Amino acid sequence: MIDTTTRLVGAAPDASTAALVAYVLGLADDALVLGHRLSEWSGRGPTLEEDIALSNLALDLIGQARLYYAYAGEIEGIGRDEDALAYLRDEHAFRNLLLLEQPNGDFASSMVRHLLYAAFLTPYLQALAGSEDRRLAEIAAKAGKEMAYHLRHAAEWVIRLGDGTAESHGRTQAALDELWMYTGEMFQMDAAERDLATQSLAVERRRIKPVWEASLDRVLAEATLSRPADGWMQTGGRAGQHTEHLGHLLAEMQVLHRAHPGATW
Amino acid sequence: MRAEAMTETPMPLWEVFIRNRSGMPHKHCGSVHAADATMALQAARDVYTRRGESVSIWVIPSHAITASDPGDKDLLFEPTASKPYRHPTFYTVPDEVGHM
């Protein structure tokens, strides 16, 4: 095990530190952006029960984001805390996957987005729990249990929506077709992340793809939905090139902190 | 595909019972609306166990519960008021026994 916290304190940021910070920020931004999207459902859920469930899922993700941001701030070592990282970075500094910033759409669309991501993140975190980086391993172990429930919840809904009425089936298939082009990005790694994976700090994303496909296919079969063919995939989120939706999301999410720095409840 | 009724028909009601600790009985804590038993369990988990209250959940279709008629209150329950000897208050229970 490498204790990256003590190893890096006081050291000038070198390439490997920068790579680790960027990687952890990617995990953090993924969790925060999707968590924020789900929080937009609060008070608007299709039923009271699901409204609470969606808020629970949002809180899980925002909690995971806080752990990652706090860790990223520590290894970065220039005094940025979780608030500074979440609220004071601009759109192009965000490294989240494009899939996660897509608008909620209807309930089917939100559940499909969640299924696509949770089916990836659950096995990914199980692998990351074996990271040589102790902090990442701890966060992944905790987050992995939460995401296993997210996967079940989204899968059960997608099955019922897909195998429900003609209306719900049509909407769910349409959401799947629309979001499919954002799934390729989950399995992409830049050179820096590949380097971290070689050191067993990060996880080789391609390794997760067969697990993801298998669990997705199981759900889609039961939901009577068809998996879209792999076409051209949208990418760029990890490099800060986002769809037009992230700017609006950040404007709403960050406005309070930017208007009233350090505001507390 | 199932009948085209899912969006029009109100979702069935389920009674939720949770067990706080191993060894203690499940207790009724409320109800949820859900399309089926699996979704009812998930809804119960999300609505009633958010603060770590539970180690186990039961859900039961509300229609499966047969309830006593409130009008039968006197007939069913009143007669016991005059039978204090049925209360186990004439014994001292040693502390070591714990929950009874």
* Number of domains observed in the structure of chain B: 1
Q: What is the mean pLDDT of residues B55-65?
A: 96
List the domain range (segments joined by +) for residue B81: 13-97
From A18, A31, A124, A32, select the one nearest A72 (Cα to Cα): A18
- Is residue B82 domain-resident? yes
Q: Which residue of B lies nearest to A57 if distances are taken between CA atoms?
A: B46
Check residue B34 and give its pLDDT: 96
In three-state secondary structure terms, B42 is helix
- Is residue B53 domain-resident? yes
Question: How near does any CA of chain A get to the CA of B89, in Å?
Answer: 43
Of B7, B36, B42, the CB nearest to A53: B42
pLDDT digits (tens, 9 = 90+) for A19-62: 999 999 999 999 999 999 999 999 999 999 999 999 999 999 99
A53 to B46: CB separation less than 8 angstroms, yes or no:
yes
- What CATH number corresponds to the domain at position B79? 3.10.20.520
ipTM (interface pTM): 0.78
- Which residue type does A16 have? S
Check residue B8 and give its pLDDT: 58
pLDDT digits (tens, 9 = 90+) for A77-136: 999 999 999 999 999 999 999 999 999 999 999 999 999 999 999 999 999 999 999 999
Q: Given pLDDT bands bounded at 50, 70 and 90, which one contains residue A7?
A: very low
From A106, A31, A19, select the one nearest A68 (Cα to Cα): A31
Does the beta carbon of B49 lie under 8 angstroms from any beta carbon of chain A? no
- Which of the pair, A211 or B2, is modelled with greater confidence? A211
Check residue A1 and give its pLDDT: 46
pLDDT digits (tens, 9 = 90+) for A196-246: 999 999 999 999 999 999 999 999 999 999 999 999 999 999 999 999 999
Which residues from B are below 8 Å from A48, CB to CB? 33, 47
Check residue B42 and give its pLDDT: 96
Q: Which two tokens stand for residue A45?
A: 């859920």
- Is residue B4 domain-resident? no
Structural domains present in chain A: 8-229+240-259 (1.20.1260.10)
Does the beta carbon of A164 lie under 8 angstroms from any beta carbon of chain B? yes
Mutation pick from A42, A49, A54, A165 vs chain B, by most beta carbons of B within 10 Å, is: A49
User: Residue B69, exposed/middle/buried by CB under 10 A (0-12, 13-18, 19+)?
Assistant: exposed
In three-state secondary structure terms, B53 is coil
Does the beta carbon of A167 lie under 8 angstroms from any beta carbon of chain B? yes
> How many CB atoms sit inside 10 A of residue B70's CB?
7
Check residue B3 and give its pLDDT: 47
- Is residue B77 domain-resident? yes
- Is residue B58 domain-resident? yes
- Is residue B8 domain-resident? no
- Is residue B83 domain-resident? yes
Q: Given pLDDT bands bounded at 50, 70 and 90, which one contains residue B10?
A: confident
Residue B6 has pLDDT above 80, yes or no: no
Q: Which pTM was predicted? A: 0.87
Does the beta carbon of B43 lie under 8 angstroms from any beta carbon of chain A? yes
Task: Provide DSSP, chain A.
Answer: -B-HHHHHTTSPP-HHHHHHHHHHHHHHHHHHHHHHHHHTTTTT-SSHHHHHHHHHHHHHHHHHHHHHHHHHHHHH-SS--HHHHHHS--GGG----HHHHS---SHHHHHHHHHHHHHHHHHHHHHHTT-SBHHHHHHHHHHHHHHHHHHHHHHHHHHHHHTS-HHHHHHHHHHHHHHGGGSGGGG---HHHHHHHHTTSS--GGGGHHHHHHHHHHHHHHTT--PPP-------GGGT---THHHHHHHHHHHHHHHSTT---
Separation of first and last alpha carbons in chain A = 38
B7 to A168: CB separation less than 8 angstroms, yes or no:
yes
- Is residue B7 domain-resident? no
Q: Given pLDDT bands bounded at 50, 70 and 90, which one contains residue B80?
A: confident
Does the beta carbon of B53 lie under 8 angstroms from any beta carbon of chain A? no
Does the beta carbon of B18 lie under 8 angstroms from any beta carbon of chain A? no
Which residues from B are below 8 Å from A168, CB to CB? 6-7
